[in-house]
């Protein structure tokens, strides 16, 4: 049966701007992959990330290289060795999952031998800014159960205190995006402990993880930039308490499910995160996030415009995708 592959670059405006320690952006640029076969078509989305030397053009080029094999019938498991981990493989992998669901008439969760997905409590992201601006954001969203707060400056203490004062009842995840240093690590840990922070994500630059073994960690710490695939996990044991699994890092749902299971064996807690993308990019991650200790799948909530149909959000809950969206 003949297959065809199509790719496209799409741009979705962000509501306001999205700011982390590495900069700001006002548009989410995504690459979609559509694989058609036998009257059915599966689709996947990825978000190229400059931190990992990805652009929309480089991702499009990666997918173009694999086109002959995809159109010849390459499957998901063989894709793991045919493409490197990253955004490009994520788009292809998720499109293949969606295609299999449509051709078989089964949900992806059933094909993957997973339980039927349930609604999840997701974090809502507070962008990096001056303490007063971040406090204003936090106060506006203080009705949410979980906030993910972007930090990563030389003076995060004032930002942490301001956000906690503005949202006293929220659980808080802090994401430093590699912005802390050996000089301020212990100080920031102490501030986080006093503020009742639930989790600190990637405080130090990737490659400097060993420093975490030399200090007291009063708040659990989660790896993000330091973990991309299953093979990365053993070196994190004893340094981190949790790992952030993102489909755009692992290169799709297939590898992400393997990584989640391997992390559980190593007694690492699971956070399932996302880049700023549309509901199409979040949908497969909802299956991955079932049973995770921390869920951060708020990408569509940060956009001025999402796909239609999109995911349904109710207060702090995100509901499983309908088949018309994915899976």
Residue ranges of domains in the chain: 3-105, 120-318
HSE-up (13 A, CA, CB side) for residue 272: 27
Q: What residues are labeled active site?
A: 150, 246
Residues 241-267 have a mean pLDDT of 98
CA distance 248 to 50: 12
pLDDT in the model for residue 24: 86
* pLDDT band, very low/low/confident/very high, at 270 (cuts 50, 70, 90): very high
Contact 232, 255 (CB under 8 A): no
pLDDT in the model for residue 263: 98
CATH number listed for the domain at residues 120-318: 3.20.20.120
3-class DSSP assignment, residue 52: helix
pLDDT in the model for residue 4: 97
CA distance 325 to 42: 10
Residues 43-57 have a mean pLDDT of 96
Residues 33-50 have a mean pLDDT of 97
271 has pLDDT over 80: yes
Q: Which of 95, 96, 99 is nearest to 39 (CA)?
A: 99
- The per-residue pLDDT for range 86-99, each reduced to its tens digit, is 999 999 999 999 99
pLDDT in the model for residue 70: 97
pTM of the complete model = 0.96
CATH number listed for the domain at residues 3-105: 3.30.390.10
Strand partners, 33: 7, 44
Q: What is the average pLDDT value for the chain, to the nearest integer?
A: 96
Contact 198, 172 (CB under 8 A): yes
- The per-residue pLDDT for range 155-178, each reduced to its tens digit, is 899 999 999 999 999 999 999 999
Contact 235, 258 (CB under 8 A): no
- The per-residue pLDDT for range 196-243, each reduced to its tens digit, is 999 999 999 999 999 999 999 999 999 999 999 999 999 999 999 999
- The per-residue pLDDT for range 129-159, each reduced to its tens digit, is 999 999 999 999 999 999 999 999 988 999 9
- DSSP per position, 153-174: STT-HHHHHHHHHH-TTSEEEE
| Other beta carbons within 10 Å of 218 | 13
pLDDT in the model for residue 182: 94
Residues 25-33 have a mean pLDDT of 96
Residues 115-126 have a mean pLDDT of 97
Q: Where are the beta strands (DSSP E) in 110-161?
A: 120-121, 124-126, 146-150
pLDDT in the model for residue 13: 96
pLDDT in the model for residue 309: 97
Residues 288-310 have a mean pLDDT of 97
pLDDT in the model for residue 16: 87
pLDDT in the model for residue 17: 86
1 has pLDDT over 80: no
Strand partners, 175: 150, 201
CA distance 228 to 163: 30
């Amino acid at each position: 049966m003949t297959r065809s592959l199509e790719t496209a670059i799409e741009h979705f405006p962000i509501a306001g701007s999205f700011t982390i320690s590495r900069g700001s952006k006002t548009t989410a640029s995504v690459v979609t992959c559509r694989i058609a076969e036998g009257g059915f078509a599966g689709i996947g989305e990825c978000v190229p990330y400059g931190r990992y030397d990805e652009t929309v053009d480089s991702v499009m080029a990666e997918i173009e290289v694999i086109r002959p094999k995809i159109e010849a019938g390459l499957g998901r498991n063989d894709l793991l060795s045919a493409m490197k981990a990253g955004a490009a493989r994520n788009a292809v992998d998720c499109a293949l999952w969606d295609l299999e669901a449509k051709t078989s008439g089964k949900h992806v969760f059933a094909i993957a031998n997973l339980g039927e997905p349930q609604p999840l409590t997701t974090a809502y992201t507070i962008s990096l800014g001056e303490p007063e601006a971040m406090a204003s954001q936090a106060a506006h969203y203080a009705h949410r159960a979980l906030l993910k707060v972007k930090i990563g400056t030389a003076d995060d203490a004032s930002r942490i205190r301001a956000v906690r004062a503005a949202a006293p009842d929220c659980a808080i995840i802090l994401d430093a995006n590699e912005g802390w240093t050996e000089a301020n690590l212990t100080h920031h840990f102490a501030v986080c402990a006093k503020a009742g922070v639930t989790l600190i994500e990637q405080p130090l630059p990737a490659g400097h993880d060993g420093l975490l073994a030399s200090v007291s960690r009063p708040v659990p710490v989660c790896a993000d930039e330091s973990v991309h695939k299953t093979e990365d996990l053993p070196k994190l044991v004893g340094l981190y308490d949790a790992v952030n699994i993102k489909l755009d890092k692992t290169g799709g749902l297939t590898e992400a499910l393997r990584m989640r299971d391997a992390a559980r064996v190593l007694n690492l807690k699971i956070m399932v995160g996302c880049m700023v993308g549309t509901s199409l990019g979040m949908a497969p991650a909802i299956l991955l996030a079932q049973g995770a200790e921390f869920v951060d799948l708020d990408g569509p909530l940060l956009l001025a415009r999402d796909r239609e149909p999109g995911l349904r959000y109710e207060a702090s809950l995100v509901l499983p995708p309908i088949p018309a969206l994915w899976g």
